């Protein structure tokens, strides 16, 4: 059985960084459920199986405060979910893995995993 693309990408990330603990913002869980594939029980079950190995990071007042400041200070328009996810990473001093880096490139202090041909590289965006 073929794995969904996002799941196989996660598996490659796990293989490249086997000693790392991976986490997921609770906001990202919401985003996953916004996708239509979770209407399919089998696909929802696969998604839950994949994320069950991750630490789910709660949305706290400190993260919400930081997310508000990110949105307020951003040169580009950033939606609530992206600001919250970025704030979660910054607050916990962990890099972000995303397939959509363009929404996050200008966020000061956010570390981002970039996908390349041989795997993944951690890069750092702007500093304060």
Query: Is the pLDDT reported for residue 2 higher than 70?
Result: no
DSSP class of residue 105? T
Which class does domain 5-93 fall in?
A: alpha beta
* 3-class SS of residue 63: helix
Query: Is the pLDDT reported for residue 12 higher than 80?
Result: no
Which class for 83: exposed (0-12), middle (13-18), buried (19 or more C-beta within 10 A)? buried
Query: Is the pLDDT reported for residue 82 higher than 50?
Result: yes
The better pLDDT of the pair 31, 124 is held by 31
What's the whole-model pTM score?
0.81
Instruction: Select from 50, 86, 53 the least CA-distant residue to 67.
Output: 86
**H-assigned helices in the chain:** 5-16, 26-34, 41-51, 61-73, 80-91
Highest mean pLDDT among 12-16, 49-53, 55-59, 72-76: 55-59
* Mean pLDDT on 99-123: 78
Q: Domain locations in the chain?
A: 5-93
> Other C-beta atoms within 10 Å of 97: how many?
19
* 3-class SS of residue 96: strand
Phi and psi of 95, rounded to 5°? -75, 160
């Amino acid at each position: 059985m073929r794995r969904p693309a996002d799941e196989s990408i996660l598996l490659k990330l796990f293989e490249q960084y086997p000693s790392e603990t991976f986490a997921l913002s609770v906001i990202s869980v919401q985003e996953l459920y916004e996708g239509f594939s979770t209407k399919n029980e089998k696909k929802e079950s696969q998604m839950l199986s994949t994320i069950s190995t991750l630490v789910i990071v709660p949305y706290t007042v400190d993260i919400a405060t930081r997310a508000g400041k990110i949105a307020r200070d951003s040169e580009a328009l950033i939606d609530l979910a992206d600001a919250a996810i970025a704030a979660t990473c910054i607050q916990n001093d962990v890099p972000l893995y995303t397939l959509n880096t363009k929404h996050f490139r200008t966020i000061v202090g956010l570390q981002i995993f970039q996908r390349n041909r041989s795997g993944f590289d951690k890069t750092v965006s702007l500093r304060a």
